[in-house]
Amino acid sequence: MPIPPPNLDDRSFQDIVDETKRLIPRFTPEWTNHNVSDPGVALIELFAWMSEMVLFRVNQVPERLYVHFLNLAGIEPFPPSVARTDVTFWLSAPTDRPLIIPAGTEVTTSTSATDAVIFSTEHDAVVAPPRMHAAHSTRVRDEQTVDGWEDLTYPGSALTCFISTPVQVGDATLFGFAESLAGAALRLTVEATAQGIGVDPANPPLAWEVWTGEAWTPVRVQRDSTGGLNRNGEVVLLIPQAHASLMLAGTVAYWLRVRLVNPAPGQPTYQASPKIGSVRADVVGLSVAAEHATTVGSESLGRSVGIPAQQFRVGSVPVATRREGEVVRVIATTGTTDWTEVPDFSASGPEDRHVVWESATGVVRFGPRVRYPDGTVRQHGAIPPDGALIQVTGYRHGGGAVGNVGARTLTSLRSTLPFVSSVENLAPAAGGVDAETVEEAKVRGPLSLRTGQRAVTAGDFERLTRETSVEVARARCLVGTETHNGAVRVLVVPQVRTDPRIHKIDDFALSEPLLRSICEVLEERRCVGVAVEVGTPFYQGVSVAALVRALPGRPVALVRQRVLDVVDRYINPVTGGATGTGWPFDTDITAAEVAQLLEVVEGVERVEEVQLFEYDLRTGRRLGSGRDVLHPEPHTLFLSADHRVVVR
């Protein structure tokens, strides 16, 4: 049981008024009118009201000391995390020479300086003319590969895309390039004849893919005017950020393939294979990873005075996680040195050039001098020489949920780039989460102090996972018989702070940086011999069908919208459940509890019927018939899907 904090003064407003009135006969016996209409009593009540406010602030002292204790113990709120997305720079014309998009290139949502959301590119990117030097056709039935380069380049001949007769799903044509096309917006100008008739030209059964080193990865088709390689036209493809070389039929190249797949339901496939007379490849754009942060160059923080525990502060906060090359630099008469950033000075010796750089406040701290019980004094971390200039080589600041902008909203360049005509983000940004609040840190602090930094129990794994980043909303650890291979499996629900009404299953995917951070933290703290796997729960869709009667005179559309809002928020991995902290794992959902929830919605007179349906979140279809109870699969969370609400 926690120790209850002391209440330094528990008197209320009325207690102070009554106590003051009892003192009147002692000090002013001539004052006999103690009614509320008396001006003196009004002054007493005013005094009591002001005193009560003072006492309220006095009683906050234990809470304030508690926060100070957490600060002393090193428990500080998490800084905000930055949102990330790929930004595509479209060229005014295909380039015939390498073109560089510098790291730190800034794009915004608008040209307004007051409300613009700024993203900057994370690294240098190069646009270079592609060089195609190989083409193959493969047959899925016997894995036969036919060299088609001469058919593609010799005048008057044509490359047969799918060599099976009749064509078979899985047959493919591959184009080999001399250099990686990672991130490129590739335009293929195709000359073709209408051999592959019978397909929907707006939705041909073709899948474009590239080899990324471990598997064939889908490529986004931005535009296709060839009708499925059946006529002259252009195909614009957005190559992923990874593109690796592969030896195929004795040829090493960076491969791009187009593969025949099953057509959409009700659509025909090819009656004959398309034939391509020629293909010309050009780069018309480049996609670069960008983050919701503004890049700051080298910044001087001040000069050292040669004493322990010096502190300096950067000009812009919060500071994003430092990348390679973003360090604290000390410039002294003896030379220039880059100092190593550490989480704390507990393991630092007097000669170690260590600094602590706080992300939330931007404070750069140098090592303190500590006196121990035996009387010895030890310096933890070196002291910069007196008069040395303290600099940071650069940093990025920004972050928060405001960076989760929608697709095609980053459309303005803050500075012009040669040959770049426009810019846009083709996918929405994700991963931006606001800083941890003080209340959240106060809840997390005692847990961290109680269990330390070890990962032994399931609770340890869950706590360490939540502490890894503010992007983690929930975590559940499976051990023993709950896992397939006996390894420790951690299921992570990311923090999705957008409107629950628009949550989709893809919103709950783990980003690569977040997954890597969690794995690194757990790897350092797991016991020797314990295998750890990190993944996401299985999300089971729920579709609610409800018949509701509205109160007389209430707008039907408004009542229906309120009902949908309540259902979407209730059946949600982050905001759902009875407590509003996310739908509990392995917990049934019943039509009765949904009906009880809807009965208190403003404007609802009564709920006449509720049915629950399982829902496939990928295909967008209901499964089976309506039920009164849905039982989740093991380690599954329910996610709100397409609902049908009728209001009478």
CATH of the domain at 234: 2.60.120
Instruction: Provide the pLDDT confidence category of residue 425 given band limits of 50, 70 and 90.
Output: very high
Q: Quick check: is 34 in a domain?
A: yes
Identify the residue whose tokens are 């001006």: 39
Pick from 421, 448, 475: which residue ends a domain?
A: 448
Query: 143 and 263 share a domain?
Result: yes
Res. 450: pLDDT tops 90: no
Final residue in a domain of this structure, among 364, 383, 402: 383
Report the pLDDT value the prediction gives residue 375, as an integer from 0 to 100. 81
Domain total of the chain: 6
Percent of all residues in the chain with a pLDDT value above 90, rounded to a whole number:
29
**Residue 67 scores a pLDDT above 60:** yes
Buried b (16+ CB within 10 A) or exposed e, 214-238: eebbebeebebebbbbbbebebbbb
- For 324-341, the pLDDT digits (tens) are 889 999 999 889 999 999
Beta strands in 305-419 (DSSP E): 311-313, 328-332, 335-341, 354-357, 363-366, 369-371, 377-379, 389-392, 395-397, 412-413
Q: What percent of the chain has pLDDT over 70?
A: 93
More confident residue, 286 or 116: 286
Residue 279 lies in a domain: yes
pLDDT at 90: 93
pLDDT value at residue 443: 73
A 10 A CB-CB count for 162 gives: 27
As a whole number of angstroms, the distance between CA 615 and CA 641 comes to 7
Residue 420, beta-bridge partner list: 91
Q: Which domain holds residue 70?
A: 62-78+436-448
Q: Which two tokens stand for residue 45?
A: 């009540």
Verify that 281 and 314 share a domain, yes or no: no
Task: Give the model's pLDDT for residue 2.
Answer: 43
What is the model's pLDDT at position 1? 32
**pLDDT tens profile 563-586:** 999 999 999 998 888 888 888 888
Rg (Cα) of the chain, in Å, rounded?
A: 33
Question: Distance (Å, rounded) from C-alpha 107 to C-alpha 119?
Answer: 5
321 in the same domain as 257: no
**pLDDT above 90: residue 382:** yes
* Domain assignment of residue 400, yes or no: no
**Cα separation values, 176 from 120, 135, 235, 283, 485, Å:** 32, 6, 16, 15, 40
- For the ranges 2-6, 176-180, 265-269, 460-464, the maximum mean pLDDT occurs at 176-180
Report the C-alpha gap between 106 and 292 in whole angstroms: 10
- Look-up: residue for tokens 């750069």? 364
Stronger pLDDT, 367 or 34, i.e. the higher one: 367
Shared-domain flag, residues 139 and 284: yes
**Count of C-beta atoms within a 10 Å radius of residue 370:** 14
**Residue 391 within a domain:** no
**49 and 67 within one domain:** no
So what's the pLDDT on residue 301?
A: 93
Mean pLDDT along residues 469-482: 82
Contact predicate 296/394, CB 8 Å: yes
Lowest mean pLDDT among 369-378, 402-411, 453-462, 486-495: 453-462
Indicate whether 64 pLDDT > 80: no
Q: Is the pLDDT of residue 484 over 70?
A: no
Give 380: exposed, middle or buried? Use CB within 10 Å, 0-12, 13-18, 19+: buried
Q: Does residue 148 share a domain with residue 35?
A: no
pLDDT band at 66 (very low <50, low <70, confident <90, very high): low
Return d(Cα 265, Cα 436) in angstroms, integer.
Answer: 47
Residue range 517-540: average pLDDT? 86
When pLDDT is averaged across residues 233-262 and rounded to a whole number, the result is 91
Same domain, 170 and 270: yes
The sign of the torsion formed by the CA atoms of 18, 20, 23, 24 equals negative
In-domain check, residue 378: yes
The CA-CA-CA angle for residues 123, 129, 130, to 5°, reads 100
- pLDDT tens for 280-289 read 999 999 999 9
For all residues of the chain together, what is the average pLDDT?
Answer: 86
pLDDT band with cut points at 50, 70 and 90 for residue 439: confident
